[in-house]
Chains A and B, each alone.
Chain A
Amino acid sequence: MAGLIAYGAHVPYHRLARADVAATLGTAPGRGTRAVAGYDEDTTSMAVEAARTALARDGLRARIGQLFLATAAPAYLDKTNATAVHAALRLDEHVLAADMAGSVRSGLGALVTAARSPVPTLAVLSDLRTGLPGGGEEVMGGDGAAAFVFGGHRNGAPVIAELLAHDTVSDELLDRWRLPGAPASRVWEERFAEEIYASHADKALTAALDQAGLDRRAVDHLVVCGLHARACATVRRTAGTRPEAAVPDLTDAIGNAGTAQPGLLLADVLDRAAPGEIIALVVLGDGAGVLLLRTTDALPAHRSARPVAAQITAGSAPMPYATYLSWRGLLDREPPRRPDPEPPYAPPAHRRTAWKYGFVAARCEKCGTRQLPPDRVCACCHSVDAMADEPMEHIRGTVATFTVDRLAHTPSPPMLVVVVDYDGGGRFRCQLTDATEADAVIGARVEMTFRRTVTASGIHNYFWKARPVRTGEMEGTQG
């Protein structure tokens, strides 16, 4: 049986209150908050975090046959972004990693492609929604990522949701567009596309339900996603499903994460759906797409360790709007009088891919000492070339000592730095992120997270940081 075998979501820690935007700019007050990718996050790093959660179960990584990264905000053009995700996940080098990048609809594309692939496929949906200050894109947008593994084809991992049917309608439609490099997308008069989307959704839903031999009343969870909020509301209201089946879109709490929104909403439903329930995922954008899933008895035992709701609850107190603007590059602040950050160099980064992306340290085969970063000579017994790979991304640790560096170059000063002693041995000094100075204390518990540390000379640098272990979320990944 084929179907969904794993999923995970990443909701960034930071929040922006819409009221603060209104207070700063003197616009009409909005309610709620949006999720904000950290200054050290982009669609690639968020994709890694979501995928790590999805692949937390033992043995899953080895089953992945291909990986698609869908985003409307790719960290790079020309260069593949999915390969960074592939490297961070330590997938086999023969696993295809490719981007589906540029349009919000690529999220639907990745999900459908994964769902009907003949090999187990990881689809990662990641987006970072931005816009001009005060605009609807900025206030109602959100950032986040979600990852899904479809597979279970031959005696594989248990399927947690069967794919009953899917259908797509494609339509060349000028309702939203953005020239490459433009800061925000532009939108045609909303009412123009509303009815068109309602019609597309109806066609796709009808087709999918017909394939599955189901009635609309059979749908237990109706998830409607898309950047056209008005059309989404219409479809939710007129789809013909039971009223209580309509799933809230989380926009009040985290905003609309565009490409990733279908993923975040589907993950949220999977976090709480009972076995044997029917989920209809309806995605609007340049047409419509529908995936019909039925949860199985395996779902409760294989839910994500980091539920969407828990990540929403664990979010920070709202950040100042000025901080948001400077993180987004919309407020150009005075840099410290320090040398410009060093860009990564291609050869050392490539030589050390396992360490830099995979956080693979070394364990001495002679004396058992863990060593981060990996080197040829053991720091303890001095054996040479007796090192075995020691993946560390899932190991938690305790802060041995710390500092707050107010001189260092960082997009969000001051830089928090901790020396982490890992459970089971090994030590590493790194940045502490998603945290305040109060979190940097001796004895604090931390876990590792994949981040974009800096962009210098037009090159992104990715590496791992520590973040506080917060209550409400279980261990992120287990390798």
Chain B
Amino acid sequence: MSSHGIRDRVAIVGMGCTPFGEHWTRSADDLLVDAVGEAVTSAGVTLDDIDAFWFGTQASGVSGLTLSRALRLPNKPVTRVENMCATGSEALRNACYAVASGAYDVAMAVGVEKLKDSGMSGLSGTAIPGAGDDSRGEITAPANFSLLAPAYAAKYGLTKEELKDVITRIAWKNHVNGARNPRAQFRKEVPLERIRSAPIVAGMLGVFDCSGVSDGSAAAIVVRAEDAYRYTDKPVFVKALSFVAGPADGLLDPEYDFTTFPEVVASAQEAYRQAGVSDPRTELALAEVHDCFTPTELVLMEDLGFSARGEAWKDVSSGAFDLDGSLPVNPDGGLKAFGHPIGASGLRMMFEAWLQLRGEAPPERTVPSVAQGRSLALTHNLGGGPGECVSFVSIVGSELTE
């Protein structure tokens, strides 16, 4: 058995993404219709041209009917997928494989989530139904990811204050980027001191260490690579799609030390193998990573191979992942500034890669690395938490390999 990948077999030829935010006046259906409409316009097609749909949502609907009803699709195949916060990426992966298999010529991946209608704080609509016997000790998402902070500080000899400075800088950087993004939920730069002194939500995490709770939708249209230029001059080719669901043993196994996501390491290595990437830090033009909480982004820099083990905090502090750094990370503002409508986030990340690789991001947040000749982007999307998660890594590029 082996994983073969579909490098350069399919391309994304159209995308759409709604502004993410508190859409009090709009339903999940409204958001879907907008994102899908933008995507088909972008590819110059109509819905009739789409052969099959993969629809991702975690809690804003069940079954393919959620999409087909909203769009009044005429008896098309629609598959609803769910993989926690990586749901949008899972929809894209399935759409890509469907086209690569030859089963369909044109497929669409759509993600949506409507979180703000619940009236709850945090990702309340995403509670995982448990056994109801407290045997799993469920905690809130910020608390779950905050478990990384003391463990990282202890392992690498940082004081609590030093680590707080590092994660504060991650939030600051993503807000700087989000302020330059008209589709982001939060579009203001936030001073370091305000981030640092914000009310605490869980562990070491303040309000600004957490991604926003928002509504939104994003969509992508996938075709065979050889057909791509029929739709656009600037297709984005899929180099790698890698997804793992971990054995979920980190909360069972004392060997796991809460300073890494082994699932991310595994999925990243597989993606680099599929794409033929050997040094992501210098080969990638940008990375969109799952910064659900600031310590997550810190740990991801090491898991994705952008920093050596124990060194990410130094790279963060020196600005290596800033917009003008050696590898821009989350140039669109990330989950932090963009908000995190679960089912849409993976496709929103791909939307930023799409814009940047095509040179269509607003000038004030265009990464310099593309002009310098880099043509690959990585998206990383995870669901779950430290010790048990699912992880997705894609690599896409604006050029076909020789």
Contact = CB atoms under 8 A, between A and B. Distances in A.
B1 interface: no
A356 interface: yes
A415 to B, nearest CB: 7
B122 interface: yes
Main secondary structure of the interface of B (DSSP, over half): loop
Contact of A352 (B124, B131, B143, B258): B131
B143 A415 contact: yes
A265 interface: no
Contacts of B130: 342
Given A338-B121, A400-B151, A408 B143 contact: yes
Contact of A442 (B122, B139, B140, B154): B154
B132 A379 contact: no
B151 A379 contact: no
A428 B121 contact: no
Interface stretch (A123-131, A208-216, A417-425): A417-425
A352 B118 CA distance: 32
Contacts of A338: 120-122, 124, 140
A407 to B, nearest CB: 4
A355 B133 CA distance: 10
A296 interface: no
Interface stretch (A112-120, A315-323, A343-351): A343-351
Contacts of A419: 147, 251, 258
Nearest to A431: B137
B150 A348 contact: no
A463 interface: yes
A405 B126 CA distance: 17
Contact of A415 (B131, B133, B139): B139
Interface stretch (B22-30, B197-205, B359-367): B197-205
A94 interface: no
Contacts of A454: 134
Contacts of B200: 404, 406
Contact of B135 (A339, A355, A407, A408): A355
A461 interface: yes
Nearest to B256: A427
B134 A344 contact: yes
B133 A348 contact: yes
B146 interface: yes
A425 B124 CA distance: 34
B134 to A, nearest CB: 4
A407 B133 contact: no
A228 interface: no
A349 B134 CA distance: 9
Contacts of B142: 405, 407
Given A400-B151, A401-B150, A429-B251, A463 B203 contact: no
Contacts of A348: 131-133
A130 to B, nearest CB: 25
A356 B134 contact: yes
A463 B124 CA distance: 23
Contact of B131 (A345, A400, A421, A428): A345
Given A339-B127, A400-B258, A407-B121, A417 B143 contact: yes
A450 to B, nearest CB: 12
Q: Which of B136, B142, B202 has the most CB of A within 10 A?
A: B202
A426 interface: yes
B151 A401 contact: yes
Contacts of A462: 134
A374 to B, nearest CB: 9
Contact of B137 (A339, A349, A355, A429): A429
A415 B127 CA distance: 17
B216 to A, nearest CB: 21
Given A371-B252, A406-B200, 5 more contacts: A338-B140, A404-B200, A407-B121, A408-B139, A429-B137
6 contacts: A338-B140, A356-B134, A356-B135, A402-B147, A421-B254, A461-B134
Interface of A: 336-339, 342-345, 348-349, 352, 355-356, 371-373, 379-380, 400-408, 415, 417, 419, 421, 425-431, 442, 453-454, 461-463
List the 4 shortest-distance A-B pairs measured between CB atoms, nearest first: A405-B143, A345-B132, A403-B203, A463-B134
